[in-house]
Amino acid sequence: MEVAAKNSLLVCTQLECETTEEMQASIEQAKVEGADLVELCIDSMEFSHISEVDKLIQHPTLPAIVSY
């Protein structure tokens, strides 16, 4: 995964979704719209086990910051 060179401007998109499926779709859409990285706000998600969140970050489409 390529990260922009030092001193370049990066665009980070904050994502708040209810499900892992919605979050994955939002990550894909952010990439299409030009985001360089995403912030996954997992406190907005409804999940039964942390492994569901782990699936989102195992094979990322974009670099991600995970916040709660």
Q: Kindly report the pTM of this predicted structure.
A: 0.80
Phi and psi at 16, nearest 5°, equal -125, 110
Q: What is the pLDDT of residues 39-61, one digit of tens each?
A: 999 998 887 788 888 888 887 78
Q: What is the pLDDT of residues 18-29, one digit of tens each?
A: 998 999 999 999
Q: Could you write out the three-class secondary structure of the chain?
A: CCCCCCCCCCCEEEECCCCHHHHHHHHHHHHHCCCCEEEEEHHHCCCCCHHHHHHHHHCCCCCEEEEC
Domain boundaries defined on the chain:
12-66
